[in-house]
Structure 1
Amino acid sequence: MNFRFQNLLGAPYRGGNVVISENSLLLSPVGNRVAVTDLVKSETLTLPFEASSNIARIAASPDGNFLLAIDDAFRALFVNLRRRVVLHRISFKKPVGAVEFSPDGAYIAVGVGKLVQIWRCPGFRKEFFPFQLERTFPDCDAAVTALNWSPDSAYLLAGSKDLTVRLFSLRRSKGSNKPFLFLGHRDVVVGAFFCTEKKTDKVCRVYTVARDGAIFTWNLESNLVDAEGYVSDPPSPGTPEQAASGEYLEDKLGEGENNARKRKKLDISESESEVALHQGNWKLLKKDFFMQTPAKLTACDYHPGLDMMVVGFSNGVFGLYQMPDFVCIHLLSISREKITTAVFNKLGNWLTFGCAKLGQLLVWEWRSETYILKQQGHYFDVNCIAFSPDSQKLATGADDNKVKVWIASSGSCFITFSEHTNAVTSVHFVAGKDSLLSASLDGTVRAWDLIRYRNYRTFTTPSPRQFVSLTSDQSGEVICAGTLDSFEIFVWSMKTGRLLDILSGHEGPVHGLMFSPTNNILASSSWDKTVRLWDIYGKGAVETFTHSHDVLTVVYRPDGKQIACSTLDGQIHFWDPINGLLMGTIEGRRDIAGGRLMTDRRTAANSSSGKCFTTLCYSADGSYILAGGSSKYICMYDIAEQVLLRRFQVTHNRSLDGVLDFLNSKRMTDAGPLNLIDDDDSDIEEGIDRQTREKLGYDLPGSMPNRGRPIVRTKCLRIAPTGRCWGAATTEGVLIYSTDDSFMFDPTDLDLDVTPEAVDEALANGQQQRALLLSLRLNEDSLIKTCVISVNLSDISAIASSIPHKYLQRLLKALADLLENCPHLELILQWSQELCKAHGSFIQQNSHSLLTALRSLHKAVVRLHQDLADTCSSNEYLLQYLCSTST
């Protein structure tokens, strides 16, 4: 029962900025969570914590220890990235437009509305007030949009919507601390960056980038300081004094202290010959333009080591430029949608781009012009999921007409099928074959080859139909699909693609369809309040189970001796398909109830909407069942006792509707909920624009768009054949929950002599059998694996036969884990073989209880076989040569 959230698939990126930590870890916001992608291993993991709403800005410390994530509600989470836990929380009073750690990691600069705040960075120590506000700069006249630190962490550039960039100094001096203003831009500033000399590592230039595609290069002139330490204020760019600034200084410096220009005495702390940057003489060197009109510049980043600038535009074009000469190295197009983020990695050889509308995330190596990472999620709701028989792959179908196949362990999508022309409603893996089936509202069922990645067969009907359910028999030779409009079930031959039969009898949409795992009986559920059993190869309809309410879905237990179906009144009914008897009923209305929509007239407790289960899934051993629906909860029930074991809350994201049980009445106005009222004055360009919404039919032409918020719900539940993880297709994507026994401590048969020290002592004395039995009694995963590896090959047979039956499942799970992460393949395979020889009869008699461990072991063996087969086939001739010359 120890299922924990592990990963979020189907949406690698949802908006905000991305960060690359330690040169190879890509951090990207996904709703109210943060995903971490290892670009070297190509593995993605979603951090377990959640923000209160969608994350807007993130920043990582230079050493990679800490992460600061700020959501749309101005709440910030300070996270320990190594341990993946939240250390501190803080709330800001206004929207945060930019956040940046200082290069030394001591401070955090945050653009809060019009203010620039400097906070001391908390450490690992426990403090009552971890965040301390060091400085506040209230000089900006509009919201802050960009921040950049100098390499010595002493100065800060801040760009804002008032079309200016300000240079702040963190050092307190006796003289004036007013920031220097970089003027001249005609649009909102998107980025501002320091440029240093490679030899001296001192700041020499500043680049400022605006949304209209203009980039200004500012050069630091040598400052004139007299013997008494006085210097004149530099003229602001764009003023009449700027043109004659050089002559003006020469004429006026000799006139004494009573001249017309204001002068100040500098307080130079480090060196008397240097002048503070914000008091220096900055000159506009040149103006350059990217020439992408009418597209707007939406993202940019600068790499100081390479002196290169990367920019992204609202039309999907990105450019890489060598500065300060403004030489275009690459100018390419990713898509037709806006690029919302563009960053360099630490070495500068990889470029990362994100497109929030498409859910697209790309990592591109610009020198070799190759992709390091290329992921794109579903940009509409995921409707259905399915695990492959070996639990290694996960298929998803969504409203964007696409079918995607993911690697369950790494969380990466390796193939996308886009031949469907309407929403995909069901996906199904064919048993024993590398094939995937998908049903769609476009009236077709398609078969996909997962080896050649092509659509090799399409099943259609004489007249167009909309398919909403799909299944195949155990042999994979017969395909069945249920319809939404004609209430029929169509049966095809997998080999020929010919329509074999049309099963009629239902009087409502057939939303549930599943073959028995043990015979060829087909179970179907419909909104006509019935569950029907069909003998496909025999006389057709076998039996009908009648209910008092609409039946929403039906599933078979893995042993085929029980059927579960959910009805509109929130009940789960369990039937014996052999004798046709009702075995039990679970009342789940109160368990799944929760969450109030903003448009509901009644409270969550009194509302009747959403209090039913639309998807069911048995566990691998059939002892419990998972149930979900139009609610924020997923319920897990014990079937024998008919009690609720656990409730999983899908999300705590308040950016979704239906998460809160009680709404704030202060957010209600005469025109409706405040969150549903669109702000016409907002210049945010996220999401679907008005024209696109009108084309899709979301809004009437010329009407006021009411975007609202997505409603939290669970559309599909599936458990992996190994039983160690299960997936839920929700509004935010596919949530993966798994159990990891290595973090559990479940001691059995313990006494004072059973200790880790006793295990080490037994290993040191060469008593491998005693050490293994002690580690199994302790049930500590690391000790079990150590003892397994320490056994000699010649002793495996004797030790395997002496293992008690009650420890067999524990040992099989350890072997499955070792096969995936251990280089001693022959040793682990020998262990598996000897265990099967010594305990074959017990395994056969108790396969029901050992099913999870056996499937995990089978999954590891199949994966290992595939990897070795690919390696040997690619080195076939080298192996032949080595074998021929071995003598």
Structure 2
Amino acid sequence: MNYRFQNLLGAPYRGGNVVVANNNRLISPVGNRISVTDLIKSETITLPCQCSSNISRIAVSSDGNFILAVDENNRSQFINLHHRIVLHRITFKGKVSALQFSPNGQFIAVAIGKLVQIWRSPGFRKEFFPFELVRTFADCDDRVTCLNWSPDSNYLLAGSRDLTVRLFCLRKLEGFKNKPFLFLGHRDIIVGAFFGVDKKTDKVSRVYTISRDGALFSWGCPDVDSRLDELEQSDEEMAEPPSPGTPEKVEEGGAIIEGNVKKRKEFDGKGSNLIDEESEFFLHRIKWELLKKDYFMQAPAKVTACDYHRGLDLAVVGFSNGVFGLYQMPDFICIHLLSISREKITTAVFNNLGNWLTFGCAKLGQLLVWEWKSESYILKQQGHYYDVNCLAYSPDSQLLATGADDNKIKVWNVSSGFCFVTFPEHTSAVTALHFTANNNCLLSASKDGTVRAWDLFRYRNFRTFTTPSSRQFLSLTADQSGEVICAGTDDTFEIFVWSMKTGRLLDVLSGHEGAIHGLMFSPTNAILASSSSDKTVRLWDVFEGKGSVETFQHVHDVLTVVYRPDGKQLASSTRDGLISFWDPLDGILMYTIEGRRDIAGGRLMTDRRSAANCTSGKYFTTLCYSADGSYILAGGNSKFICMYDVAEQVLLRRFQITHNLSLDGVLDFLNSKNMTEAGPMDLIDDNNSDTEEGIDKQTRGKLGLDLPGSMPNRGRPVIRTKCLRIAPTGRSFSAATTEGVLVYSVDESFIFDPTDLDMDVTPEAVNAALNEDQPSRALILSLRLNEDSLIKKCVLAVNPADIPAVASSIPFRYLQRLIEAVTDLMEGCPFLEFILRWCQEICKFHGHSIQQNSRSLLPALKSLQKAITRLHQDLAETCSSNEYTLRYLCSTGMKK
């Protein structure tokens, strides 16, 4: 039961800004979670911490250790990226529109409405309230849209909706008016403002400002002499008359705050170096000049995202029509001008080296990383536009297929979290998926009236099953051999049977009087079980042609049906919240589970009753047995996934799939102050500012929200679980939810759970047995203690020549735990041949016991098979890419 959240698939990006840490770690918000993609290892993980609502802005420190995430409710979390934990929390007093760490990592600039606040970064300090407000700038006349720090962290550029960019000085210089310098002249909202650095002197020499109408202004500072003249004049006007004999006082950093003004001659010779070295403290005192105006010429498209790389002097700009441009500055030379989509680019950012460009499109859920020199994709991921309907695990648990209402099928690698193939051939919503036993074929059913078979080697549709007249399919299954395909319909209430080899329609099973929601073949025989809205579960003998052989009557509509892995039990869910367990051989009801109270929770905005009194949604729409059949998972139109013990019929655990308040049905109690005469305040859409500005507000597509003819709900989808599947290895399960596909797995840190403990079984006894060269005794003691680190230590301590003797001495009751430990070692241990020798000897000496108890050992054996298959694939790819090098080394070795 020790399942914990591991990853989020199906939605790599939904909005907000994307940042790159340590040059190869792409950090992007996904709903109220944060996804981290390693571009070198091609792996993606989702942090377990959640914000209270959808994340709007994120920022990462320059060293890549910390993330500051702010959600739509202005609540922020300060996260340690490496340990994946929340260190601090703070709530800002307004909507945060921009966020950035200073280059030295000491400060955080936050744009809150018209204000720019400078906070001291908490870091690793242990304090009661670590956030300290250092400065507040209230000079802007409208909402701040962008921020950019100078390389020395002394100055800050802030662009605003008032068409100006302001230059703020972080330090307070006494005796001077600390008014910001204004960069004027733009005719539209500022999208980006950046400091440009002179490559020779490594000093700030330019400022670039970009507005939404496609204008880029380049600003420069005059020469040193002009700067000195202006500084002297301003100092003389502001300074008080000096008293006789009063010594000069010079603040650290070279700024004159009191006393006589230094004469011009003091800046000659060595003095000029002083100005060069401390020029950063005078940037706000300089009158910047507008050097040139450039235009992107992409009207009527607007600039929606931009970024600038100081080292390469490059600017990248994304437009509302899906076009992006890469420009060499300051000459404004267009290097690339390409289109990547037809929707608005919502984020564009460089990596630290400047060789990769990252683009995000919130409406399509698309995330791209493009190498502009070689013009090739490093990463190209796109999630489902609408909610995911169905899931299917491959028999080896390495692949996960998803089907959604956007008519697409995606196949994901569970280990890396990447989608590697998309099948778009269906013309309507995909409702069911099924992997065949050989692991190479995927079946899909759709409401377009077709059942398709996909080849996962050649990535093509090699067989299409149809009916004489068009039907809408809701359910799908195949027998153990994969030769017979069955699909249930929504409109004619029939089950169609096809042959996989010929593609011919073999039979049509009639008898149901309602939509067929569930189909499944028995794992042990050829009996087909079907569930329908006509309040029955029917068993069919497909091969003998006897039709319906058994009917199980229910009181309410049956929503799903599943077999236990041993085929000796059948579970069905009905609309009254009951889970019924049947004996398919004797045809009797064994027991039921009342789940209405367990799944109840969460109130919709449109509900007129409280969550406790509302009856809608208090039933399970999807069920799934564990790999060993000891417990069952159940989910439905609720924020909870329930886990029940089958033998005792008790609730073991409830998983709350999300805490995201941006979704409907998460809160149990609604705030009465948000109710108005026109209805709930959250459902009243009175914000049309984005439409007025010519940029449509973009939200990720949701079923029932963005479909034609549906009522808008301000982007508030209802939380639900549409499908649950447990991996054949039993180590993880996936849930197709409104948030995406949530993957839960057994935690890597093993909980202490001894098998056969007494006074003599201690870690000291294990170490003593190893020191006395008794590997068999040490391994058995560690297995009895069931301590993961000790078991692995004892396995690695065995001499290769002694592996057969030690493997044969292990009792059968410890065999499953030993196989699990060997599987973990294979995934991360460099001694490949040594671990494979262990696997060989275990199978050789315990083969008969494994065969007799294959059902109980099946999850562990599936995990071992998955690890071996993955390792074999990695080695095959490495050897094929180095084939000629290996041939050369072998030939030279033979000559010697």
TM (normalized to structure 1)?
Answer: 0.93
Query: Following superposition of structure 1 onto structure 2, how do residues 726-805 of structure 1 map, counting pairs within 5 Å?
Result: 726-750=733-757, 754-756=761-763, 759-760=766-767, 762-764=769-771, 766-805=773-812
**Which amino acid in the other structure matches residue 838 of structure 1?**
F
**Which amino acid in the other structure matches residue 487 of structure 1?**
F
Query: Following superposition of structure 1 onto structure 2, how do residues 215-364 of structure 1 map, counting pairs within 5 Å?
Result: 215-222=216-223, 224=226, 230-232=232-234, 269-271=252-254, 273=275, 274=279, 276-364=282-370
Q: 1:280 to 1:693 in 2, by over 3 A?
A: farther
> 1-side partners of 2:250 and 2:142: how far apart?
30
Q: Which residue of the partner structure matches residue 182 of structure 1?
A: 183
Instruction: Tell me if structure 2 keeps the 8 A contact 1:164–1:181.
Output: yes
Q: Which residue of the partner structure matches residue 865 of structure 1?
A: 872
Instruction: Tell me if structure 2 keeps the 8 A contact 1:742–1:780.
Output: no
Q: 1:389 to 1:15 in 2, by over 3 A?
A: same
Q: Which residue of the partner structure matches residue 122 of structure 1?
A: 122
Q: Which residue of the partner structure matches residue 262 of structure 1?
A: none
> 2-side partners of 1:693 and 1:277: how far apart?
54
Q: Which residue of the partner structure matches residue 578 of structure 1?
A: 585
Q: Which residue of the partner structure matches residue 91 of structure 1?
A: 91
> 1-side partners of 2:97 and 2:249: how far apart?
33
> 1-side partners of 2:150 and 2:229: how far apart?
29
Instruction: Tell me if structure 1 keeps the 8 A contact 2:167–2:180.
Output: yes
Deviation at 1:205, TM superposition (A): 0.5
SS of residue matched to 2:682: helix
Instruction: Tell me if structure 1 keeps the 8 A contact 2:70–2:76.
Output: yes
Q: 1:38 to 1:302 in 2, by over 3 A?
A: same
State the superposition RMSD in angstroms.
2.4
Deviation at 1:220, TM superposition (A): 1.2
Query: Following superposition of structure 1 onto structure 2, how do residues 123-162 of structure 1 map, counting pairs within 5 Å?
Result: 123-162=123-162
Q: Which residue of the partner structure matches residue 272 of structure 2?
A: none
Q: Deviations over 1:729-788 (max 9, x none)?
A: 000100000003534222344566655555455545544334333433343323322322
Q: 1:119 to 1:433 in 2, by over 3 A?
A: closer
Q: Decide which of 820, 825, 847 is 2:854's aligned counterpart.
A: 847
> 1-side partners of 2:468 and 2:228: how far apart?
94
**Which amino acid in the other structure matches residue 108 of structure 1?**
I
> 2-side partners of 1:173 and 1:883: how far apart?
72
Deviation at 1:884, TM superposition (A): 6.5
> 2-side partners of 1:769 and 1:330: how far apart?
66
SS of residue matched to 2:844: helix
> 1-side partners of 2:381 and 2:697: how far apart?
20
SS of residue matched to 1:687: coil
**Which amino acid in the other structure matches residue 698 of structure 1?**
G
Q: 1:550 to 1:130 in 2, by over 3 A?
A: same
> 2-side partners of 1:460 and 1:364: how far apart?
41
Q: Which residue of the partner structure matches residue 668 of structure 2?
A: 661
Query: Following superposition of structure 1 onto structure 2, how do residues 182-581 of structure 1 map, counting pairs within 5 Å?
Result: 182-222=183-223, 224=226, 230-232=232-234, 269-271=252-254, 273=275, 274=279, 276-538=282-544, 539-581=546-588
Deviation at 1:56, TM superposition (A): 0.3
> 2-side partners of 1:20 and 1:765: how far apart?
52
Query: Following superposition of structure 1 onto structure 2, how do residues 608-757 of structure 1 map, counting pairs within 5 Å?
Result: 608-683=615-690, 685-687=696-698, 696-698=707-709, 706-750=713-757, 754-756=761-763
Q: Deviations over 1:768-824 (max 9, x none)?
A: 334333433343323322322232221001111122333221110011122222232
Instruction: Tell me if structure 2 keeps the 8 A contact 1:100–1:109.
Output: yes
**Which amino acid in the other structure matches residue 368 of structure 2?**
L
Deviation at 1:600, TM superposition (A): 0.5
> 1-side partners of 2:687 and 2:17: how far apart?
24
Q: Mind listing any 5+ residue stretches in structure 1 that lack a counterpart?
A: 234-252, 259-264
SS of residue matched to 1:863: helix
SS of residue matched to 1:129: coil
Q: 1:743 to 1:303 in 2, by over 3 A?
A: farther
Q: 1:756 to 1:230 in 2, by over 3 A?
A: farther
Instruction: Tell me if structure 1 keeps the 8 A contact 2:582–2:591.
Output: yes
Q: Which region of structure 1 is more displaced relative to structure 2, 787-796 or 303-312? A: 787-796
Q: Which residue of the partner structure matches residue 589 of structure 1?
A: 596
Instruction: Tell me if structure 2 keeps the 8 A contact 1:750–1:778.
Output: yes
SS of residue matched to 1:361: strand
> 1-side partners of 2:27 and 2:482: how far apart?
41
**Which amino acid in the other structure matches residue 681 of structure 2?**
L
SS of residue matched to 2:842: helix
Q: Which region of structure 1 is more displaced relative to structure 2, 823-832 or 94-103? A: 823-832
Instruction: Tell me if structure 2 keeps the 8 A contact 1:356–1:686.
Output: no
Q: Deviations over 1:350-369 (max 9, x none)?
A: 11110000000011111111
Instruction: Tell me if structure 2 keeps the 8 A contact 1:146–1:190.
Output: yes
Q: Decide which of 827, 830, 838 is 1:831's aligned counterpart.
A: 838
**Which amino acid in the other structure matches residue 819 of structure 1?**
M
% identity of equivalent residues: 73
Aligned pairs, number: 857
Q: 1:847 to 1:199 in 2, by over 3 A?
A: same
Deviation at 1:874, TM superposition (A): 5.8
> 2-side partners of 1:414 and 1:76: how far apart?
34
**Which amino acid in the other structure matches residue 231 of structure 1?**
Q
Instruction: Tell me if structure 2 keeps the 8 A contact 1:225–1:231.
Output: no
SS of residue matched to 1:177: coil
> 2-side partners of 1:42 and 1:646: how far apart?
33
Deviation at 1:676, TM superposition (A): 1.2
Q: Deviations over 1:61-118 (max 9, x none)?
A: 1111111000000000011111100111100111000000011101100001110000
Deviation at 1:221, TM superposition (A): 1.4
Instruction: Tell me if structure 2 keeps the 8 A contact 1:633–1:647.
Output: yes
TM (normalized to structure 2)?
Answer: 0.92
**Which amino acid in the other structure matches residue 674 of structure 2?**
R
Instruction: Tell me if structure 1 keeps the 8 A contact 2:59–2:101.
Output: yes
Q: Which region of structure 1 is more displaced relative to structure 2, 201-210 or 821-830? A: 821-830
Instruction: Tell me if structure 2 keeps the 8 A contact 1:163–1:186.
Output: yes
Q: Deviations over 1:122-176 (max 9, x none)?
A: 1223211111101100111111110111111110000111111000001111211
Q: 1:741 to 1:711 in 2, by over 3 A?
A: same
SS of residue matched to 2:855: helix
> 2-side partners of 1:353 and 1:226: how far apart?
43
**Which amino acid in the other structure matches residue 75 of structure 1?**
R
